[in-house]
Amino acid sequence: MHANDYDLAAVAKVIGEPARATMLLRLMDGQAHTASALAAAAGVSQSTASAHLSHLVDAGLVTVQTEGRRRMHVLASGDVAAAVEALGCIAPLLPVESLNQARTGSKLQFARACYSHLGGSLAVGITRGLLNDGAIVMAADQRGIELLTFDHQLLRGLGIDSLAAGSGPVAWGCLDWTEQQPHLAGRLGTAILTALLSKGWLLRRRNDRALDLTEEGKNRLQRCRLMVNTLHPTS
Domain assignments of the chain as residue spans, ordered by start:
8-76, 99-223
State the pLDDT at residue 127: 96
State the pLDDT at residue 95: 85
Are 211 and 205 within 8 A, CB to CB?
A: yes
State the pLDDT at residue 102: 85
Helices 18-27 and 78-88 pack at an angle, to 10 degrees, of 120
Are 171 and 123 within 8 A, CB to CB?
A: no
Closest CA to 153 of 135, 174, 172, 177: 135
State the pLDDT at residue 1: 64
State the pLDDT at residue 233: 46
pTM to 2 decimal places: 0.89
State the pLDDT at residue 56: 97
State the pLDDT at residue 63: 97
Low-confidence ranges of the chain (pLDDT < 50): 228, 233-235
Yes or no: domain 8-76 corresponds to CATH 1.10.599.10: no
State the pLDDT at residue 229: 53
State the pLDDT at residue 68: 86
Q: Where are the beta strands (DSSP E) in 9-148?
A: 33-34, 62-67, 70-75, 112-114, 117-119, 136-138, 145-147
